[in-house]
Each structure stands twice: as C-alpha cells, then as structure tokens.
C-alpha cells in the first residue's frame, strides 16, 4: 500500500469510536425517545382514542409514517443493486450509506405499524392465524425478507473493511475489538474469500430488486385494493416505487452532507459525487412527476362524482395549501433548481434535499388522510372530531419515536463501521 | 448449481403460498367437514377446536338460511328507534351506530330522503378479503360477523368498506366493567373490547332464536322487511305482514347501494317514492351540503 492509500485508510477509519459528540447526541436522542415512549404507554393504557383517529379517518399519521419509512428504505436497492449491477461506477462509494439508510428505515417500519394496532398484544396472531389473501400478510412477509437481505447486503461487502478495523483499530475498547474479530469471520483477503463475497453479493443484488419492488408495491396495495376515491388506482404500485426513490435519494444526500462535515470526509465525498447524486435526484423526481401527472390529471379530466370531492379538497379545499406546497416545494421547484450546476454543490443540494424529504413525508399524509375524509356516504350523526382529523400531541410524539430510532441506528452503525467502503474509494482514487 | 438452488427455492416458496391459499379456501368451504373429523379424532389439534362453543356455532351460521334485508325508504320518517334499539343491544356509545339513518340526496334537483344504513352483509365482502387474521368472516347464512377475540385492530376493514359500516372501540367500551365477566358471544359481539372492531351483526343472536333483528322489530313505521332468500319470504318488522321477496323487489323497483362496486350487498332498498312524511327543512339543508360537497 502506498502513502496516499495509507492516508485514505486512516481518514476513513478515523470517525470510528464513541467520542464526546457521539455521547451527547445519543443522550439527547435517548431522552427524546423516552419522552415519546411515554406517550405510547398512554396510548396503550387508554386506547387509540388518544389519537385524532376516529371511525371515518381511521388511518392517520402512523400509516403515513409507515409508508414514508418503507419508501425511504428502497434507496439501498436503487444505489447498490440498480446502479451497481449496471456498472455505474461513481455510485459505488455511496452503496454503504444507502444500505445503512435502507436497513434502519426498513427495520423500524415494522415498529411503526405496531404503534397503529389497536391490539399490539395480538401481534403474533399475524403468524398464528395469518390469511395469505390479505395484503397485510404480504407486507409483513416481504418487509421481513427485505430487512434480512438488506442486512446481508450491508454486511457482506463490509467484511473486508471490518477486517481492516480488526487489524488497524488497536486502541478501541476490548468488546469492540472482539466484535470486529467475530464479524470479520477470519477474513484474510485471499482470492477464494474474495470470490465467495463477490458471488454472494451479486446474488443478493439480484434478489433485492424484486423484493424491494415488492415491499413498496404491496404497501401501495394496502390502499389500492380498496374502492375509495384517491386510492382506487391501478398505477399505485409504480407511483409509490418512484416516489420512494425521491425520498430515498434525498435521505442519502442529507446523510452524505452530514457525514462529510462531521466525519471530515471532504476529500472522499467530493463535489463531483454531490453533483452526480443531484442529477440522480432530478432523474427520479422527473419520473415521479410523470406518475403524479398520471395520478391526478386523468381523474381530474373525468371528474367522477366521488373523485371530484376528493380532488376539490386537494386542489382548492382544506388540503390545498399543503398539497401545493408539497407538489411545488417538494417536487417541481427542486427539479428546476437542481438543473443548475451551482445548486448541486453540497450545501445547496443539502438544503434542497431537506425540502424534498419533508415534502415526501407530507405527500404520504396527503395520500392517506384526504381519501378517508371523503367516503362514498355522508358522515352524519357523529361529533365534530369524527368529521375532521387532527393529529393529537401524543400521536405526533409516537410518530416521532421511530424517526429517533432511525437516527440512533444510523449513528451507531456509522460510528462503528466506516461509512465509505474502503475498497471502492481506493479503486476510485486509482482512476 | 447455485442458480438451480435459487430457482427451486423460489418454486417451493411460490408453490407453498398457492397451496396454503387453496387450503384456506377449501377449509372455508369445508368448515363443517373439518368439525366432523375433529369430533372423531380428539387428539387432532385444529384451530376450530380452540374456539368456544359459542364461537364455533357463531362462525358456522344457521344451516339452510340465506338472510336477506329489504329497506323501504318510502316509509322511513327518521324515527331512529332502530338506531337506539341497536345501540342498546350491543352496548354501544352514542357515536357508534351499527345502524345509521342518513339524510341522502343524489344531486342538486333530486329530492332528499332518509336512508337507514346497516352493514350490507355483502356476498363479496371487501372487509373479509383484507382481514389479515380471519377475525371478520362471512357465514354460510350470509351474515358478516366480527370476532373481537381475534381482531388485532389494524382497521384495514374500515379502509376497505365502502359503506362505512364498521366502527372501532377507540377507548374502553361503555359497559366494560359490567360486561367483564360475560362469556363472549360472537353473534352479539358482547362484551365489546377496546382496540377491536364492532359492526352490524344482523342480530345473529336473535336469528338463532328465530326472532327478527333488534332494529327491525323496533321500527314503528314499517320500514324493514327481513327474511330468508332461500324461502323467498320476508316479514315486515312492524306489521308482521309476510310477502314473497321476489314480488316485493319486483313491484317496487328495488335497488342496491353502489352495486357497481361488485360487493353484492344482501340489503335491498325500495325507492323513496310517495313518502309518508316529508324530509324536515333542517335535514334538507344537511343533505344539500352533502351534494355541494361533491359538486362544488
């Protein structure tokens, strides 16, 4: 290994370890998480009545959050598998960040759905009495599969790097050294081992594409299999999948920016990389825009009785401000801005990505709630809180809890393993 | 070799999925058959065995019957006795209406009318299709029930039902304390349980006793006809007059609620023609708001 390489390995391994900043950040997250869990204990005791949910809008921000989580978790498939298998070299240093995000969001998505259950104590019934005809069972099956494959896809390519940690990081605590030793599974970097990993990863990369498509397609079917205006759509599968790539790419950009700043990786997460991911965000946003046009313009043209009420509420009614903010601020304006090269520099791109990801969350809100607000039959003979959905403070806290959990998982993973794959960066530098 | 393993693994998985789906459908049809085997082979542990006797017969239904409901909109005066009788029978809160009398109006210049709306007990019930744990089910006599000892509270059925026929126990039910020691009767859905669904049951407990549903008997205005499709006979809950079902439907130009959705409701409506009482002015306003809500 030459001097340049030596410096690179040093730089990439440097962020590892649990310093003061890490402890402060994690304590902050822990306190916040405990507060949110306290809210959940109230919900457990009193019932889902502590939320703004009622018989008409019976799915609210928990389900919107679930859809957002599953969506964001799809990014690993796009970056590692789609770009990886098609040999798009510039993306390979980002594969690990994408996989960490995927794993964190997919693993926590399962918890999000439990917070929405009226009887979480009966969670095991899904396995004991599961009916394979119900999309919920499909969802549980594919999300679990996706978590397993994502874990493997994060772990397998990381083994050489873990071995590097095992060999280089001699100053870390004993348990951590032990951890590296176990996870490195006696990696000696010989040809046979390299071949096994190469083949294993390739198999996983192929497997994860249909599974990732399945998780979000099935999630969209939770809505599309119903008769309700706004959900009764045949393009919901691809509409959700393409939307997923938008929020996932934005999440990767945010992570890239934060890791670059805090872990001092300016030399490795380059301007060029931001420029290229910026272009990727434009591409996936354009595809999503295309699906949005299909999803809204076609029913608007016909104005079928039930659709009309829904669309009026979105375009000029109660949800109009949110709808236009999301469609313009979270999709159209970012596309236009990112067409200009200066906007694809790290800081502007980071800011745009934050708008995009917030827009992505509220887009899920707009998919779930307004439809339930407009059933086929009139809402009568119920109190006002049954007619209009307003999330409560407890509900918001319970929604924030999984986001905190995701941040914790990402923080721990990125402080235990190098966030950039050493080998990939190495071959990049050589080019 | 690896590819072969992958393919065969995939095939086994897909085959397993199809087989278990077929098995379930078969089980649904052959529920009685399974019971027979279970009776003979006591060692055999089958889900059905774990259910209480009330649960078992509640899931099976009443053999030979196909319950049917006819609601005459021309007779409804919005007395709402049906609603209160139902709430009383099932220990519901005032905002929970298995039977809900709505003021309806189709469009600007069509008249407003009162429409009692129970669960439509669809023959192709979307709620049953989506239930992940077989908590809500369709019986052989046509009734759609909910088993609140099984329900996990995911509320997918609420999302799937186009008729808003389902309610949830968002907090502790009204008589949770009083009903605590009651044995669960799936045909009455009592005791109600927090975190589970409740819905119109066609008064399955009354049907078992050979009586008319609570709401049907409570109506003072002769709105409801109830009976057995197999016998082609329906009885009026108020007058106890009996009629041929086919004749009643034919003569009055009966229709169903949103049949275009393919849900195949077991409830028929007779049009609100020659109504015995006009719709109140304030109710007209409510109905009109609803029209404008769609047409604004």
Q: Return the closest-CA partner of residue B167 out of B230, B232, B83.
A: B83
Q: Check: CB of residue B113 under 8 Å from CB of residue B104.
A: yes
Q: Please name the residues in contact with B164: beta carbons below 8 A apart, sequence gap of 6 or more.
A: A55, A56, A375, A376, A377, A379, B100, B117
Q: Return the closest-CA partner of residue A290 out of A250, A345, A245.
A: A245
Residue B67's H or E segment, with its range, is: strand B67-72
Find the closest chain B residue to A313 by CA distance: B293
Q: What is the pLDDT of residue A427?
A: 75
Spatial separation of the C-alpha atoms in residues A118 and A108, rounded to whole Å: 19
- All residues of chain B having their beta carbon less than 8 Å from the beta carbon of residue A119 are 151-153, 195-196
- Reading the block at residue B29, the tokens are 């049809």
pLDDT band for position B12 (cuts 50, 70, 90): low
- φ, ψ of residue B278 to 5 degrees: the values are -70, 160
Q: What is the pLDDT of residue B45?
A: 43
Find the closest chain B residue to A199 by CA distance: B2
Q: Return the closest-CA partner of residue A11 out of A139, A120, A164.
A: A164
Mark yes or no for CB contact A225/B150 under 8 Å.
no
- Which position has the higher pLDDT, B131 or B285? B131
Mark yes or no for CB contact B286/A380 under 8 Å.
yes
Over the stretch B109-132, which tens digit does the pLDDT of each residue have?
Answer: 899 999 999 999 999 999 999 999
Average pLDDT of span B151-167: 97
Find the closest chain B residue to A113 by CA distance: B154
pLDDT band for position B102 (cuts 50, 70, 90): very high
- Count of domains observed in chain A: 1
**DSSP 8-state code for residue A79:** I
CA-based nearest distance B60→chain A, Å: 17
pLDDT band for position B44 (cuts 50, 70, 90): very low
Q: Check: CB of residue A115 under 8 Å from CB of residue A65.
A: no
User: Between β-strands B267-270 and B144-146, what pairing exists: parallel, antiparallel or unpaired?
Assistant: unpaired
* Average pLDDT of chain B, as a whole number: 88
Spatial separation of the C-alpha atoms in residues A136 and B236, rounded to whole Å: 41
Spatial separation of the C-alpha atoms in residues B35 and A173, rounded to whole Å: 62
Q: What is the pLDDT of residue B106?
A: 87
Q: What is the pLDDT of residue B26?
A: 58
Q: What is the pLDDT of residue A404?
A: 98
Average pLDDT of span B99-107: 93
Q: Is the pLDDT of residue B25 over 60?
A: no
Spatial separation of the C-alpha atoms in residues A244 and A74, rounded to whole Å: 6
- All residues of chain B having their beta carbon less than 8 Å from the beta carbon of residue A394 are none
Mark which residues 197-256 of B lie under 8 Å from A by CB: none
Over the stretch B182-238, which tens digit does the pLDDT of each residue have?
Answer: 999 999 999 999 999 999 999 999 999 999 999 999 999 999 999 999 999 999 999
Q: Check: CB of residue A52 under 8 Å from CB of residue A390.
A: yes
Mark yes or no for CB contact A378/B104 under 8 Å.
yes
Q: Which of A56, A119, A228 sits opposite B152 (nearest CB)?
A: A119
Owning domain of residue A274? 3-430
pLDDT band for position B150 (cuts 50, 70, 90): very high
Q: What is the pLDDT of residue B36?
A: 52
Q: Return averaged pLDDT per consecutive 10 residues of chain A, 431 residues in all.
A: 81 92 97 97 97 96 97 94 92 94 96 95 95 95 95 96 93 93 94 94 95 96 96 96 97 97 94 97 98 96 90 94 97 98 97 98 97 93 92 97 98 96 79 58
Residue A226's H or E segment, with its range, is: none
Complex ipTM: 0.93
B66 touches chain A (CB under 8 A): no
CA dihedral for A56, A60, A64, A66, sign (positive or negative): negative
Q: Check: CB of residue B102 under 8 Å from CB of residue B93.
A: no
Mark yes or no for CB contact B160/A227 under 8 Å.
yes
Q: Is the pLDDT of residue B33 over 80?
A: no
Spatial separation of the C-alpha atoms in residues A329 and B276, rounded to whole Å: 56
- Whole-prediction pTM value? 0.91
Find the closest chain B residue to A385 by CA distance: B95
Percent of chain B whose pLDDT exceeds 90:
71
Q: What is the pLDDT of residue B259?
A: 95
CATH number (domain holding residue A196): 1.20.1630.10
Interchain CB contacts (distance < 8 Å): A and B: 158
Q: Is the pLDDT of residue B41 over 50?
A: no
Find the closest chain B residue to A375 by CA distance: B162
Mark yes or no for CB contact A380/B160 under 8 Å.
no
Mark yes or no for CB contact A119/B296 under 8 Å.
no
């Amino acid at each position: 290994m030459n001097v340049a390489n030596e410096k690179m390995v040093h730089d990439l391994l440097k962020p590892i370890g649990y310093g003061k900043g890490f402890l402060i950040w994690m304590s902050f997250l822990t306190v916040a998480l405990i507060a949110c869990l306290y809210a959940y204990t109230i919900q457990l005791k009193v019932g889902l009545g502590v939320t703004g949910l009622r018989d008409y809008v019976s799915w609210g921000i928990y389900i919107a959050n679930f859809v957002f989580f599953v969506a964001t978790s799809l990014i690993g498939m796009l970056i590692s598998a789609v770009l990886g298998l098609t040999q798009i070299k510039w993306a390979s240093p980002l594969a690990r960040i994408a996989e960490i995000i995927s794993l964190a969001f997919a693993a926590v998505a399962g918890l999000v759905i439990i917070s929405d259950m009226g009887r979480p104590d009966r969670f095991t019934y899904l396995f004991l009495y599961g009916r394979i005809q119900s999309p919920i069972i499909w969802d549980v099956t594919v999300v679990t599969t996706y978590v397993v494959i994502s874990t493997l896809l994060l772990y397998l390519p990381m083994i050489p790097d873990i071995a590097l940690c095992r060999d280089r990081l001699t100053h870390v605590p004993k348990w951590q050294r032990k951890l590296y030793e176990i996870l490195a599974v006696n990696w000696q970097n010989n040809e046979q081992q390299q071949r096994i990993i190469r083949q294993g990863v390739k198999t996983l990369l192929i497997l994860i594409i249909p599974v990732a498509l399945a998780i979000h397609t099935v999630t969209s079917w939770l809505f599309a299999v119903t008769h309700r205006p706004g959900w009764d759509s045949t393009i919901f599968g691809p509409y959700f999948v393409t939307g997923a790539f938008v929020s996932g790419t934005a999440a990767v950009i945010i992570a890239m920016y934060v890791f670059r700043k805090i872990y001092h990786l300016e030399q490795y997460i380059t301007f060029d990389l931001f420029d290229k991911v910026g272009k990727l965000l434009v591409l996936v946003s354009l595809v999503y825009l295309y699906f949005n046009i299909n999803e809204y313009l076609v029913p608007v043209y016909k104005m079928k009785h039930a659709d009309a009420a829904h669309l009026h509420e979105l375009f000029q009614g109660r949800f109009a401000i949110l709808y236009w903010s999301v469609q313009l601020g979270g999709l159209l304006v970012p596309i236009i801005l990112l067409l200009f090269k200066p906007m694809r520099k790290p800081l502007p791109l980071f800011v745009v990505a934050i708008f995009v990801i917030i827009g992505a969350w509220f887009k899920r809100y707009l998919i779930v709630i307004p439809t339930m607000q407009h059933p086929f039959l009139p809402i009568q003979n119920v109190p006002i809180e049954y007619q209009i959905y307003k999330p409560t403070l407890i509900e918001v806290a319970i929604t924030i809890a999984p986001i905190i959990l995701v941040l914790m998982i990402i923080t721990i993973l990125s402080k235990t393993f190098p966030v950039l794959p050493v080998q990939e960066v190495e071959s990049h530098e050589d080019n | 070799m690896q590819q072969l393993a992958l393919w065969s693994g995939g095939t086994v998985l897909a085959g397993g999925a199809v087989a278990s789906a077929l098995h379930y459908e078969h089980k649904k049809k052959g529920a009685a058959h399974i019971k027979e085997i279970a009776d003979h082979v006591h060692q055999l542990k089958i889900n059905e065995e774990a259910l209480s006797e009330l649960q078992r017969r509640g899931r099976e239904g009443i053999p030979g019957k196909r319950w049917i409901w006819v609601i005459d909109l021309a007779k409804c005066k919005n007395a709402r006795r049906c609603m209160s009788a139902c709430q009383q029978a099932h220990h519901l809160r005032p905002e929970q209406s298995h039977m809900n009398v709505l003021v309806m109006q189709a469009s600007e210049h069509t008249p407003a009318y009162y429409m009692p709306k129970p669960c439509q007990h669809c023959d192709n019930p979307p709620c049953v299709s989506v239930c992940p744990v077989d908590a809500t089910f369709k019986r052989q006599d046509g009734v759609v029930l909910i088993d609140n000892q099984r329900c996990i509270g995911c509320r997918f059925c609420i999302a799937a039902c186009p008729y808003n026929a389902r309610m949830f126990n968002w907090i502790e039910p009204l008589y949770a304390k009083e009903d605590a020691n009651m044995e669960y009767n799936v045909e009455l859905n009592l005791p109600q349980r927090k975190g589970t669904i409740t819905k119109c049951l066609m008064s399955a407990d009354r049907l078992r006793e050979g009586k008319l549903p609570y709401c049907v008997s409570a109506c003072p205005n002769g709105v409801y006809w109830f009976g057995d499709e197999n016998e082609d006979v329906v009885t009026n809950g108020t007058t106890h007059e009996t009629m041929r079902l086919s004749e009643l439907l034919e003569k009055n130009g009966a229709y169903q609620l949103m049949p275009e959705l393919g849900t195949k409701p077991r409830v028929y409506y007779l049009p609100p023609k020659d109504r015995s009482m006009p719709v109140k002015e304030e109710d007209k306003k409510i109905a009109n708001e609803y029209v404008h809500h769609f047409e604004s």
